[in-house]
Amino acid sequence: MKLRNLLLSLAAVCIAQASFANGFQVLLQGTKQTGRGNVGVGYGPDASSLFFNPGALSFLESTQIQVGFSPVMSNISYRGLEGSQKYQSTSPMGTPFHAYGVYRPSAESPWAFGLGIFTPFGSTVTYDHDWTGRYSLQEISLQSIYIQPTVSYRIGEKVSVGAGLDIVTGSVVFQKSNTAPGGDINSKIEGNTLQYAFNVGVFAQLNEKLSLGVNYRSGVDMKVEGGDATFNVPNAYIAGVLGMAEGVNTDKFNATLPLPQTIAIGVGYKVTDKLALALDFNYVGWSVYEALEVEFEEFSANNISFDRNWQDSYIINFGAEYNALDDLVVRAGIYYDTTPVRDGYMTPESPDANTIGLTVGASYNIGDHFSIDAAFLYNTKEQRENVIPDGVNTGALNGVYKASAMIPSIAVNYKF
């Protein structure tokens, strides 16, 4: 069976969606890192260090570019708390990508300059429009694209620092139904924003075996102002009662989704010439996400104020690399991603639970300049029950969720 056919059948069987890491994080910024449990802060500089730790860039041997793509096929399974009927999400394939270019004046130069484009946050979840949870969510699509000019400087032989400015473009689509006499009122909001963040890191190659790294990425408030909203009211009389018109009503909305700051530390160790082990620890400041507030300019009776009350979460990543052949590196890894969502605060867009990620990967050199990275990530969340606490309004529904994702990843590298 050809790999191409295999991927096609995979896509056909698992038509699904993209929310797979906890919160709205997307942990797919480098195919090599994906293959080794997403470890990349304190080990193995490559072009995608621009994301994982810009401090490591001036350890690169040469100028290089990398382009990668990680289709996310994920699935959410839901049933009511004491219900026998099961529901599945119908999300389309998610399409996180990454592209990096790093310029090294020379192998000896202390400087490195880079530009990266990547998608560290995002989520696309859809359900059948008439599913039982349609009053909570029919569709959400959050996308963020980070464009990061970066500079790195090596201080002496062992330590280098780096920093990047993130130009963040974001978009949101959120669609749900509202119970109303005369027929459900469908509401949809769509908006875009442009914000700024930054990324700084320190990398140290203490000796031939041991490397360390620290990375900090600032949070950013994804504030949408004057986004487009529509409300579709099927009954003319009810529309009148609500001060609306029959059919589609347009409005503007303001909303903010805070994205968290992350702090990561990592360590890498070469056990033998061929085998290396590496470990990262990420701390993600999701406690910034206290509530989902959407305010409409005209139809303010429809304002949304849902409790979120997320907490900070952490991720432990562990990976191994083995130089199997001269031109082939194979990888494997595992990570444990804790959920920022407290008990009772799960929603159909974030059916979050503690997650285990299992990964494999490989890189193969074709000639001196060209190489291909491939990885596969299987991501499974614990089955989790959601019982909304008294006095809390998350806009969501009680039930039992189980989510999982399968993510192949592929990237090509060119070294000058």
Partner 1 sequence: MTFKRYRSLITAGVFAVLMACKPEVDDFSPSGGSHNGTAIDYTTYVALGNSLTAGVSDGAWLSSSQVNAYPQLIANSLQQAGLGASGFNQPLISHSGNEYFGQPLILTNEGPCFTCTQPVVPTSNIYAEHGGFHNMAVSGMKAIEVNNPALAAGLYGYFASQPGVSTVLTDVIALDPTFYTMWLGANDVLGYAQSGGALGSEAITPQEDYEAAISLVLDAMDDKGAKGAILNIPDITEAALFNFIASDLEGVLQLAGQELSEPVLGLVNGFMDEAIGGVKNPTITELVTPSIDIGNGTMINAVAGIVAQIQGSVGDPTYVPKAAEIATAIVYAGAYAEAIEGGANDEMAQAIANAYVASAEGQAAISLLVGIGIDASWATSSVEEAIASSDTYMKSNGSYPVFTMESNQMPVYDETSPTQMRQTAVGSKFTLLAQGKVSALVNVITGGGSLPDDLKEVLPVPTAGEALLADDVKKVQDAVEGYNTFLKEQADARGLAYVDTKSIMSEAAQTGIIIDGVTYTTAYLSGNLFSLDGAHLTQRGYAIIGNLTIQAINAKYNARIPQIQQNDFPVVETTPVTPAPAGSN
State the nearest-atom distance from the C-beta of 5 to partner 1, in Å: 10
Part in contact with partner 1 (CB under 8 A); list of ranges 129-137, 248-256, 280-288, 290-298:
129-137
Examine residue 276 and tell whether it contacts partner 1 (CB under 8 A).
no
State the nearest-atom distance from the C-beta of 227 to partner 1, in Å: 22
Closer by beta carbon to partner 1, 219 or else 234: 234
State the nearest-atom distance from the C-beta of 397 to partner 1, in Å: 4
For partner 1, the binding residue among 129, 318, 404, 414 (CB under 8 A) is 404
Mask: binding to partner 1, 69-98, rule CB under 8 A, as x and -? ------x-xxxxxxxxxx-x----------
Interface with partner 1 in residues 6-35 (CB under 8 A): 6, 10, 13-14, 16
Given the DSSP bridges, would you call strands 97-103 and 64-69 parallel, antiparallel or unpaired?
A: antiparallel
Examine residue 129 and tell whether it contacts partner 1 (CB under 8 A).
no
Closest CA relative to residue 370, chosen from 64, 42, 16: 64
- Binding-site size for partner 1 (CB under 8 A) equals 59
SS (H, E, C) the chain: CCHHHHHHHHHHHCCCECCCCCCCECCCCCHHHHHCCCCCCCCCCCCCHHHHCHHHHHHCCCCEEEEEECCEEEEEEEECCCCCCEEECCCCCECCEEEEEEECCCCCCCEEEEEEEECCEEEEEECCCCCCCCCCCCEEEEEEEEEEEEEEEEECCCEEEEEEEEEEEEEEEEEEEECCCCCCEEEEEEEEEEEEEEEEEEEEECCCCEEEEEEEECCEEEEEEEEEEEEEECCHHHHHHCCCCCEEEEEEEEEEEEECCEEEEEEEEECCCCEEEEEEEEEECHHHCCEEEEEECCCHHHCEEEECCCCCEEEEEEEEEEEEECCEEEEEEEEEECCCCCCCCCCCCCCCCCEEEEEEEEEEEECCCEEEEEEEEEEEECCEEECCCCCCCCCCCCEEEEEEEEEEEEEEEEEC
State the nearest-atom distance from the C-beta of 307 to partner 1, in Å: 11
For partner 1, the binding residue among 56, 284, 400, 410 (CB under 8 A) is 400
State the nearest-atom distance from the C-beta of 85 to partner 1, in Å: 6
Closer by beta carbon to partner 1, 190 or else 246: 246
For partner 1, the binding residue among 69, 111, 135, 314 (CB under 8 A) is 135
Closer by beta carbon to partner 1, 85 or else 207: 85
Interface with partner 1 in residues 38-57 (CB under 8 A): none
For partner 1, the binding residue among 103, 113, 132, 159 (CB under 8 A) is 132
For partner 1, the binding residue among 276, 362, 375, 410 (CB under 8 A) is 362
For partner 1, the binding residue among 45, 54, 120, 133 (CB under 8 A) is 133
C-alpha distances (whole Å) from 321 to each of 108, 311, 361 are 26, 33, 9
Interface with partner 1 in residues 369-388 (CB under 8 A): 376, 378, 380, 383, 388
Interface with partner 1 in residues 300-339 (CB under 8 A): 325, 327-328, 330
Can you tell me the distance from the alpha carbon of 337 to that of 234, in angstroms, rounded to the nearest whole number?
43
Closer by beta carbon to partner 1, 154 or else 381: 381
Examine residue 183 and tell whether it contacts partner 1 (CB under 8 A).
yes
Interface with partner 1 in residues 217-256 (CB under 8 A): 234-238, 241, 246
Can you tell me the distance from the alpha carbon of 340 to that of 178, in angstroms, rounded to the nearest whole number?
27
Which stretches of the chain bind partner 1, using CB under 8 A? 1, 3, 6, 10, 13-14, 16, 75, 77-86, 88, 132-136, 176, 179-183, 234-238, 241, 246, 325, 327-328, 330, 360, 362, 364, 376, 378, 380, 383, 388, 393, 395-398, 400-402, 404, 406
